[in-house]
Amino acid sequence: MSTPNIPALETAARDARGLAMDAIAKCKSGHLGLPLGCAEIGAALYGYALNHCPDHPRWLNRDRFVLSAGHGSMFLYSWLHLSGYDLSLEEVKNFRQLHSQTPGHPEFHETPGVEATTGPLGQGVSNAVGFAISSKMSEARFNTPEHTIFDHHVVALAGDGCLQEGVAQEASALAGHLGLDNLILFYDSNNVTLDAMANVTQSEDTAGRYVAYGWEVQQIDGHDFHEVISAFEKAKATTSGKPQFIIAKTLIGKGIPEVSGTNKAHGEAGVKFVAEARQALGLPAETFFVDPGTSAYFVEHKKSLESTHAAWEKTYEAWKSKNAELAAELENAIAGKVPDLLEAIPPFDPSASIATRKAGSDVLQPIAAKMPLLISGSADLHGSTLNYIKDGGDFNRQNHGGRNLHFGIREHAMCGILNGLAYDGIFRPSGATFLVFSDYGRPSIRLAALSKLPVVYIFTHDSVGVGEDGPTHEPVETVAALRAIPGLDVIRPADPEETAGAFAAAFERTDGPTMLVLCRQSVPTLDSISVEDRRQGVLKGGYIAKKESADLDTILLATGSELQHALAAAETLGGGTRVVSLPCFERFERQDAAYRESVIPSSVRKRVSIEAGITDPWFRFVGLDGKAVGIDRFGLSAPGAKVLEILGMTAQNVVEAAKSLK
Ligand SMILES: Cc1ncc(C[n+]2csc(CCOP(=O)(O)OP(=O)(O)O)c2C)c(N)n1
């Protein structure tokens, strides 16, 4: 590597400080502390050490950079702009304004060079672990003895806030256990959080903690270019087999002496001192100033990055010409191409009575065979969630080609890591646990939805039918709470064939996450409905499961294990009753109005729903004139069938509710 041009990097750091001050002063909000405190780290990375290519922000072998401390977004925007990404100075001036490419916190899809949506502290650390796993998997799957097309690093920047969060702790422990030595985590150690000095809330030995996790730890002065660069290069070159933790001691808000080093530097409080601070840094009166020397430096630097990229392109083409099948696999995955999955799933024995989690296991195998980049993980519950890819092998230190990920009992990190894999865009990640523990992963599930990531959750044990484990393990409000997340498809299939449709829907979706909600207890195969209707019906979100044989007067609606009760109730209620299976509200609502009207005609007001969960979500379908049979309380500890019955999940209750309607 060339020797770093320290004076140029110093000027660049000064200019980045200026941009952050000006942007935050202009919009009167934002976080000055990190962009000022980490300016040297930014200059060292973007101006020298990172291997990336601004004109090809998704270059496959770029070093990924994740700003876990997303509040410091102006750090990222300044460096992306200066590096020559397609992020204009105008956009920097529009920091935090409507439809700008510089939103308050970094958002995936919004800004070239932003690898992950961050801001909720700690998430980025788990995402970075997901990226690092994705990189290891990519190396194992695609590199050949002759050609190395993947050998990049994953770099993240986190502060005290991120490292205090449980999700980062879970993910860091797993990264150490897995020996992800391609991961470099910078810790912006400035002794300050938001409300106070960090010592008000933490006194642990963070370095010791990371050593205990199995990481290699270095400590440096984060303002010293030589130290930053040599620590980074040492981390990149490690042969220890350990992830790399670089504690960078920094002065938060460096450049605004009135606030630096204190919690006042964290946000925008320093704005009132900006004029003097700019002057002291040697910046001219002109705001959003970039020294011509800085611009020229980055133009040259970009050229050298481009030549590295061009050399890689040559290797890639040579690899591609010798490995056509592998290349097609990789390129199809990146393009989001998914084969037709339903045709690969054989029909189930109509007389079978199995749990949808078991059906899910059966369905997953042919899907995994068709999608070689599908990954299936579980938070220590593969034995119950049944989502193990049978001939997929385990991903571990020794085997980066494995397709089954063992997350341990780390649901939050699992969901954050799945996001990292999905951001990377090569593998199709799925993960599993009991549905009731989705609350442990909810912050990451929410971000998957916000960032439109095609993550699949295979969450089982979906109701009070769990039984003997009791109310702690019996979701009642959980499905409703998940339906409240915009952009998340929640699919609760009723039987094995609906499960086939649900898995196809989930893995064929490329523009957002899907939650598969599967039951623990056996359910009948509903063979009064054709296989085709059940499978295709799920893809539409809702369909007529039983058509009326006389003038339509009553509609029964159900999902999952309760569809059998709606069908049985219809037998008692007579020919004017229609049964609608509604396994996925979100998909149903994406159908056109004519289809929705054909399934649930607006003129028919006698409607009853049944679902083993709280009734709130159903009133949008049963309306004020209808009734919802559900469970508006916590469950009970007893055999599952008993609990379901005592809490009213019966055909009888549906019949009575329907009869009570005028
Ligand atoms: C999960 C979560 N909780 C709270 C916040 C609000 N918040 C943003 S930054 C911050 C303090 C972070 O401290 P640190 O990481 O040390 O950042 P620094 O002060 O060094 O910029 C808090 C509490 C958040 N963004 N995410």
- Express each pLDDT in 471-499 by its tens digit: 999 999 999 999 999 999 999 999 999 99
Which atom of ligand 1 is the closest one to the Cα of 266? Answer: 19
Ligand 1, residue 190: give the atom nearest the CA.
20
- Burial profile 549-587: b = 16 or more Cβ within 10 angstroms, e = fewer: eeebbbbbbbbbbbbbbbbbbbeebeebbbbbbbbbbbb
| Ligand 1 neighbourhood includes 33 CB (under 6 angstroms) | yes
CA atoms 145, 136, 215, 158: torsion sign? positive
Tell me how far CA of residue 26 lies from CA of 20, 96, 114, 258, 270, in angstroms.
10, 10, 22, 19, 13
Residue 252 Cα: closest atom of ligand 1:
20
CA distance 316 to 150: 10
Mean pLDDT of 604-623: 98
With a 6 A CB cut-off, is 252 part of the ligand 1 pocket? yes
pLDDT in tens, 204-218: 999 999 999 999 999
Q: What is the pLDDT of residue 461?
A: 98
Q: Say yes or no: CB of residue 193 within 6 Å of ligand 1.
A: yes
Beta bridge partners of 175: none
375: Cβ below 6 Å to ligand 1? no
Any atom of ligand 1 within 6 Å of the Cβ of 160: yes
Output the CA 447–ligand 1 centroid distance in Å: 17
- Give tens-digit pLDDT for 332-346: 999 999 999 999 999
Between the CA of residue 340 and those of 164, 334, 366, 367, 530, what are the distances in Å? 44, 17, 11, 9, 20
Classify 151 as helix, strand or coil.
coil
Check pocket membership of 71 for ligand 1, CB cut-off 6 A.
yes
Q: Are residues 456 and 513 in contact, defined by beta-carbon separation less than 8 angstroms?
A: yes
Residue 216 Cα to ligand 1 middle (Å): 25
CA distance 60 to 150: 7
Q: Which two tokens stand for residue 648?
A: 């009213």
Residue 31 CA, closest ligand 1 atom number = 21
* pLDDT at residue 364 greater than cutoff 90: yes
CA–centroid distance, 499 to ligand 1, in Å, is 41
For residue 662, what pLDDT band results from cuts at 50, 70 and 90?
Answer: confident
CA–CA separation, 589 and 592 (whole Å): 8
Backbone angles phi, psi at 72, to 5 degrees: -85, 35
Q: What is the mean pLDDT of residues 159-181?
A: 98
> pLDDT of 89-104, one tens digit each?
999 999 999 999 999 9
For the Cβ of 34 lying below 6 angstroms from any atom of ligand 1, the answer is yes
Query: What's the predicted TM-score (pTM) here?
Result: 0.98
Mutation to probe ligand 1, out of 68, 266, 268, 450 (largest number of atoms < 8 A from CB): 266
Q: Are 56 and 334 in contact (CB under 8 A)?
A: no
The kind and range of the H/E element at 334 are: helix 324-334
- Ligand 1: which atom is nearest the Cα of residue 105? 25
**What are the strands, taking DSSP E only, across 442-504?**
456-460, 489-491
Q: For residues 424 and 419, what is the distance between their CA atoms, to the nearest angstrom?
A: 9
pLDDT at residue 1 tops 90:
no
Q: Which of 193, 259, 268, 450 has most ligand 1 atoms within 8 Å of its beta carbon, as the pocket-test mutant?
A: 193
- Please give the Cα distance from 384 to 493 (Å, whole number): 18
| pLDDT band, very low/low/confident/very high, at 24 (cuts 50, 70, 90) | very high
- Looking at the CA of residue 123, tell me the nearest atom of ligand 1: 1
Helix, coil or strand: residue 570: helix
Q: Which of 87, 104, 99, 77 is CA-nearest to residue 15?
A: 77
Residue of the nearest CA to atom 25 in ligand 1? 120
pLDDT in tens, 66-85: 999 999 999 999 999 999 99
Q: Which of 155, 68, 175 is nearest to 444 (CA)?
A: 68
- For the question of residue 411 being annotated catalytic, the response is yes
Q: Is 128 in the pocket of ligand 1 (CB under 6 A)?
A: no
Encode pLDDT of 112-143 as tens digits.
999 999 999 999 999 999 999 999 999 999 99
Residues 6 or more apart in contact with residue 314 via CB below 8 angstroms: none
Task: Please tell me which residue in 40, 107, 115, 411 is annotated as part of the active site.
Answer: 411
Is the CB of residue 349 less than 8 Å from the CB of residue 360? Answer: no
Q: How close is the Cα of 283 to the center of ligand 1, in Å?
A: 29
* Nearest residue by C-alpha to atom 10 in ligand 1: 194
Averaged over 259-265, what is the pLDDT?
A: 96
Ligand 1 mutation target, pool 73, 164, 194, most atoms within 8 A of CB: 194
Contact 389, 404 (CB under 8 A): yes
Q: Which atom of ligand 1 is nearest to the CA of 158?
A: 15
The 10s digit of each residue's pLDDT in 367-390 is 999 999 999 999 999 999 999 999
Task: Find the 71 Cα to ligand 1 centroid distance in Å.
Answer: 7
The response to whether residue 251 sits with its C-beta less than 6 Å from ligand 1 reads: no
